[in-house]
Structure 1
Amino acid sequence: MTRPAAVLFDRDDTLVEDVPYNGDPDRVRPMPGAAGAVRLLRERGIRTAVVSNQSGIGRGLLTEAQVRAVNARVDALLGPFDVWAYCPHAPGDGCGCRKPAPGLVTEAARLLGVRPEDCVLIGDIGADMGAALAAGARGVLVPTARTLPEEVTAAPVVCADLLGAVRHVLLDEPRAAAGGRAGHSVTAGDRAAGSGRRG
């Protein structure tokens, strides 16, 4: 893995704890290691973005203003991030931006002024890895208790935590353990794009 031009992060359960359809900035809690991971990228001059499914807007459970307020809180705690891109559509809307579609990744890359293939997307579910693959970017999975076993098996690279994932993409650590198993690579034919279970 060569050093990327930019690292894109999923938001919920990757950068911050997942609070379903959260519209309250006071409920934002960073994931362990998130601050250090983002700081390390900033110190190395790597651009950063957040790409997030926010179907609560399309479902009528959230307003865009609420999502922007929560994103601003994440920025205050962990950022600033160079770019924010989120999908406001419900799962049945058939948009091209909702992960695992490539739209959020390609849009973030465009706004950053880099090629999607020069980006790495770090996320916690198969939809994140599917979006990276569909856009031509690289994916790194950091599993949580919500990650399905088949998503871990199908991921191109698996790291045990967010800081380990960032060190991996910066080539500071060649592999990071995931549940006692080293990060691994699989062929494109072995990759399965998850459909996503939230956002």
Structure 2
Amino acid sequence: MSSAIATAPSGAHRWLILDRDGVINHDRENYIRSPADWQPVDGALDALARLHRAGFGLTVATNQSGIGRGYFDVPTLDAIHARMCAAITASGGQVAAIAYCPHCPDAGCDCRKPAPGLLLRLMTECGFAPGDALMIGDAERDLDAARAAGVAALVVGERATELAHAFGVPGFADLAAAADWLLEDHWPC
């Protein structure tokens, strides 16, 4: 499943595929079940705005098994994403597209990360190639999905050092630190 939100910055030649929970917003043990549950990670909105202004296309790839588990429905997820996109836009950023997997982990689908389906869907919908993309995640599944899709990756969050070492990718404390690095003209592709 996916939903186009806006258009990419004109001339975008570098695209970011961002995991949602733990990267853009705080993760919750019992799922983000309503728009009120969605709370951005400190510095994330500003980081996305800075990246957007620098010409990066912004997309989101997120597993949302809460739908398959019956914790919330698609209209609720759409409302959560509307709140997220409104906050990003208000900060000066813009999300081009969001792709999500509504399936439970045992569904055997090709979209749930670590499968590459969400990333491949975003590349097709937004018209960019693996070499023009960078996955920013906070878990093994994000890095495995990037590897399977042929996309470079970096990792943020509490496990960044451990995962960066294990996967041989750059690691940062949070999205703000990753944005600083990317805006210094680092591009791991």
Unaligned runs of 5+ residues in structure 1 are 176-184, 186-199
Aligned-residue offset at 1:22 = 1.7
Match of 1:83 in 2: 97
Q: Deviations over 1:172-193 (max 9, x none)?
A: 0659xxxxxxxxx9xxxxxxxx
Residue 15 of structure 1 corresponds to 24
In percent, how many aligned pairs have the same letter? Answer: 36
Per the TM alignment, residue 117 of structure 1 is displaced from its structure 2 partner at its CA by 2.6
Task: Give the letter aligned to residue 67 of structure 2.
Answer: I
Match of 2:15 in 1: 6
1:22-171 pair list within 5 angstroms: 22-79=32-89, 80-144=94-158, 147=159, 150-155=162-167, 156-170=169-183
Q: Separation in 2 of the partners of 1:88 and 1:139?
A: 23
C-alpha separation in 1, matches of 2:139 and 2:126:
24
| Off by >3 Å, runs of 4+ in structure 1 | 147-150
Shift, 1:42, TM fit: 1.3
User: Separation in 2 of the partners of 1:40 and 1:148?
Assistant: 22
Structure 2 unaligned regions, length at least 5 = 1-11
After superposition, the Cα gap between the structure-2 partners of 1:150 and 1:163, relative to the gap in structure 1 and judged at 3 Å, is: closer
Judged with a 3 Å threshold, the aligned counterparts in structure 2 of structure 1 residues 148 and 123 are, in CA distance, closer, same or farther, namely: closer
2:7 aligned residue: none
Contact preservation (8 Å) 2:23, 2:174: no
Q: Is the 8 A contact 2:130 2:149 kept in 1?
A: yes
* Residues 4, 166 of structure 1: alpha-carbon distance in 2 compared, 3 angstrom cutoff: farther
Structure with higher strand content: 2
**Distance in 2, Cα, partners of 1:120 & 1:38:** 14
**Normalising by the residue count of structure 2, what TM-score does the alignment of the two structures yield?**
0.83
One-letter amino acid of the structure 2 residue matched with residue 30 of structure 1: P
Deviation at 1:149, TM superposition (A): 6.9
With structure 1 as the length reference, what TM-score do the two structures score?
0.79
Q: Describe the superposition over 1:71-118 as per-residue Cα deviations: whole angstroms up to 9, x where unpaired.
A: 111101114311010001100011111111101111111111101231
RMSD: 2.1
Structure-1 separation of matches of 2:13 and 2:47: 15
Paired residues, number: 171
DSSP-derived class of the 2:147 partner: helix
C-alpha spacing 1:161/1:4, structure 2 compared with 1 (3 Å): farther
Q: Deviations over 1:28-47 (max 9, x none)?
A: 11101111111111111211
